[in-house]
Amino acid sequence: MPDDVYARQNFGNRVGIGRSPALLIVDFQVGFADPDVFGGGNVKDAVAATVPLLREARSLGLPVAYTRAVFADDGSDAGVFGMKVPALKRLTDAAAISQIVPELAPEPGEYVVRKTGPSAFFGTSLASWLNAKGVDSLLVTGATTSGCVRASVIDAISYNYRTTVVTDCCGDRALDPHEANLFDMGQKYADLLTAEEAIAAARAAVGRNETD
């Protein structure tokens, strides 16, 4: 089995959730939930699974941040990413397909990051916002698992956040890359938890703070 190599080389250790987690929802936009635009696979299921996780995060008072892939109306800021996937330039600020899905709509006080690259961090002020909130850990959901979720997770650990990918709250337009990237992130960059497990872990983190 491939994972025998990882175990023998001591990959895949758990880092856990620290004292101050936040929820990061990556690119759950209308277009990425629509199989006729950028969606497909298990993205719609991942959106549905994120609804109770978001509700719990709010009830616990966790910081919540979203990302939106948004490009200028003339596509002038799309760069090489836009050359690789020209259809992304349809995600202008006012376009219906670029809006966050209604069932996960942000509430006042939640942070929405506009980005033109795969990572939630590159060229954005997300890290500054998280640091101002005292965040030390991230629960990451969104689309796509192999694309912007993965890029955001790699940058999250590079910023030294304890990072957890919420497996059933991430989706991809094809299941093979979804599963392969979950495995790889779990071995090198993040812990993997289901939504139910992530909720329990977040409750435990908040509980620890309340008893100190």
Domain that holds residue 91: 26-211
5 belongs to a structural domain: no
Strand order in the sheet with 162-171: 111-115, 64-69, 21-26, 137-143, 162-171, 191-193
2 belongs to a structural domain: no
CATH number assigned to the domain comprising residue 146: 3.40.50.850
Domain tally for the chain? 1
Kind plus residue range of the DSSP H or E element containing 59: helix 43-60
115 belongs to a structural domain: yes
| 170 in active site | no
98 belongs to a structural domain: yes
142 belongs to a structural domain: yes
Which of 148, 170, 190, 193 is catalytic? The answer is 148
43 belongs to a structural domain: yes
18 belongs to a structural domain: no
All residues at 6 or more sequence positions from 179 whose CB lies less than 8 Å from its CB, including other chains? none
133 belongs to a structural domain: yes
Q: Are 26 and 142 in contact (CB under 8 A)?
A: yes
User: Is pTM beyond 0.85 here?
Assistant: yes
In tens digits, the chain (212 residues) has pLDDT values of 566 899 999 999 999 999 999 999 999 999 999 999 999 999 999 999 999 999 999 999 999 999 999 999 999 999 999 999 999 999 999 999 999 999 999 999 999 999 999 999 999 999 999 999 999 999 999 999 999 999 999 999 999 999 999 999 999 999 999 999 999 999 999 999 999 999 999 999 988 776 66
- Residue 115's DSSP bridge partners are 69
